[in-house]
Amino acid sequence: MKENLEQLRAMALDALNHAHSSAELESLRVKFLGKKGEITAILRQMGSLSETERPIIGQLANEVRAVIEEAIADKVRQLEANNLSERLISEALDVTIPGKEFLIGRRHPMTIVLDEAKDIFIGMGFNIAEGPEVELSLYDFDKLNIPTTHPAREWTDTFYIEADESVHLRCQTSPVQVRVMENQKPPIRVISPGRVYRKDEVDASHSPMFHQIEGLVIDKGVTMADLKGTLNLLVHKLYGDKTKTRFRPHHFPFTEPSCEVDVQCVVCGGSGCRTCKQSGWLELLGAGVVHPKVLAGCGIDPEVYSGFAFGIGLERMTMLRYGIDDMRLLFENDLRFLSQF
Ligand code: DAH
């Protein structure tokens, strides 16, 4: 029995030496020290021993148990230490690796200028109105007094949606005027920014989609002088007090009289350059005194009320603001361009 115990000790220590996981350790512990384990099996045979042998073997058995327990505890500590150093290696952070670049967006230059324009108009008591981009020809043409023969109605100019030409992508923001006048009573003071669509080829100053800001003022006694004062104030706030404007006679079916408004070229200051085609002026908008037929068609009595309206090109307004000479830059979304604003 003494030999058995000593053999057992040697076997157990050897097996523990070769254990590599806590699961292995646990099964060895059960095998040697468990209730049905090897030491217990030997102790069961103690009954056959003599009185003198029994305490000696008993003590030896306790020693062997203690040695194996100690060896298991050692091994547990060793495995834990190994695990830790493996994790320290595999989960190591290299704090010297450069971080991921975090790009923060910013407002598009057209949004910046639109926000400024909105602030200026809101400061003059205007509200913001909205209208649909898919519009009825009734609002975009008929109620704006645009004759059936007008080139804007051609399939070559406008993106029609219905074959009977009753619905199309609006080619101007002016139909919002009609929608507002049909739904509000004077006094009216609104602007309406938004997208418009025309079958234009893309070049430095054209795109099939662009933006306008429509404006409409209706009240008693409103005249061309109010139109000039309002638009001059806008230009002075946007481009500086000294910026000159020029009101040129023009024709729009929905205004009478009508005009186009030019701003002194911001690139050359009026002396003539490539951007203004040597004229010293850049066209910014169309405007006029609302035609009595348009008022009457929207249920507003032209004998009592009058008003003015305008349509500003937002791309133009932005290009003038920053001296940008090619409209395509506003649509390409090249970060090298956009990050300058
Ligand atoms: N809708 C015109 C255009 O797209 C611009 C315009 C001119 C709007 C005169 C108006 C206006 O409201 O009164 O060319």
Distance (Å, rounded) from C-alpha 114 to C-alpha 337? 18
Give the residue whose CA is nearest to atom 12 of ligand 1: 310
Rounded average pLDDT over 334-339: 94
pLDDT band at 54 (very low <50, low <70, confident <90, very high): confident
Q: Tell how far the Cα of 173 is from the centroid of ligand 1, in angstroms.
A: 8
Checking if the pLDDT of 239 tops 90, the result is yes
For ligand 1, whether the C-beta of 310 sits within 6 Å is: yes
Packing angle between helix 314-322 and helix 109-123, nearest 10 degrees?
A: 100
Checking if the pLDDT of 194 tops 90, the result is yes
For ligand 1, whether the C-beta of 275 sits within 6 Å is: no
Are residue 179 and residue 37 in the same domain, yes or no?
A: no
Distance (Å, rounded) from C-alpha 220 to C-alpha 238? 28
Are residue 83 and residue 119 in the same domain, yes or no?
A: no
pLDDT number for residue 85? 92
**Which of the pair, 221 or 95, is modelled with greater confidence?**
221
Q: What are phi and psi of 259, to 5 degrees?
A: -150, 165
pLDDT number for residue 38? 86
| Residue 291, both tokens | 């035609």
> Where in the sequence is the domain holding 212, given as residue range(s)?
109-338
Q: Tell how far the Cα of 260 is from the centroid of ligand 1, in angstroms.
A: 9
Are residue 43 and residue 157 in the same domain, yes or no?
A: no
Q: Which range is least confidently modeled, 25-34, 38-47, 107-116, 279-288?
A: 38-47
Residue 98, in any domain of the structure: no
Domain count of the fold of the chain: 2
For residue 214, which atom of ligand 1 is closest to its CA? 12
For ligand 1, whether the C-beta of 194 sits within 6 Å is: no
For ligand 1, whether the C-beta of 172 sits within 6 Å is: yes
Checking if the pLDDT of 205 tops 90, the result is no
pLDDT band at 37 (very low <50, low <70, confident <90, very high): confident
User: Which residues, 6 or more positions from 176, have their beta carbon under 8 angstroms from its beta carbon?
Assistant: 129, 130, 131, 190, 192, 194, 214, 216
Q: Tell how far the Cα of 287 is from the centroid of ligand 1, in angstroms.
A: 6
Q: How many residues does the chain have?
A: 341
Are residue 186 and residue 51 in the same domain, yes or no?
A: no
For ligand 1, whether the C-beta of 286 sits within 6 Å is: yes
For ligand 1, whether the C-beta of 192 sits within 6 Å is: no
pLDDT number for residue 2? 82
CA distances 315 to 161, 228, 236, 248, Å, are 26, 21, 18, 21
Q: What pTM did the predictor assign?
A: 0.74
Distance (Å, rounded) from C-alpha 180 to C-alpha 307? 13
For residue 290, which atom of ligand 1 is closest to its CA? 13
Are residue 151 and residue 187 in the same domain, yes or no?
A: yes
Residue 269 backbone class (left: φ over 0; alpha: ψ -120 to 50; beta: rest):
left
Distance (Å, rounded) from C-alpha 16 to C-alpha 29? 9
Rounded average pLDDT over 299-325: 96
Are residue 301 and residue 223 in the same domain, yes or no?
A: yes
Residue 104, in any domain of the structure: no
Residue 95, in any domain of the structure: no
Q: Which range is least confidently modeled, 17-21, 116-120, 289-293?
A: 17-21
Distance (Å, rounded) from C-alpha 122 to C-alpha 245? 22
Q: Give the end of a domain, one of 58, 90, 122.
A: 90
Are residue 84 and residue 114 in the same domain, yes or no?
A: no
To test the pocket of ligand 1, the residue of 171, 172, 190 to mutate (highest count of ligand atoms within 8 Å of its CB) is 172
For ligand 1, whether the C-beta of 193 sits within 6 Å is: no
pLDDT number for residue 148? 95
Are residue 292 and residue 215 in the same domain, yes or no?
A: yes
Are residue 242 and residue 185 in the same domain, yes or no?
A: yes
**pLDDT-above-90 percentage for the chain:** 70
Residue 101, in any domain of the structure: no
Q: Give the end of a domain, one of 90, 121, 142.
A: 90
Residue 314 has what DSSP assignment?
H
Closest by CA position to 159, among listed 203, 205, 196, 132: 196
Pairing of strands 255-264, 281-290: antiparallel
For ligand 1, whether the C-beta of 210 sits within 6 Å is: no
SS3 137: helix
In the chain the beta strands, taken as DSSP E runs, fall at 127-128, 134-136, 167-169, 188-197, 209-219, 245-250, 255-264, 281-290, 306-313
**pLDDT-above-70 percentage for the chain:** 100
Residue 216, in any domain of the structure: yes
Token pair 């100019």 in the structure block, residue: 157
| Residue 190, both tokens | 């609104």
Are residue 48 and residue 116 in the same domain, yes or no?
A: no
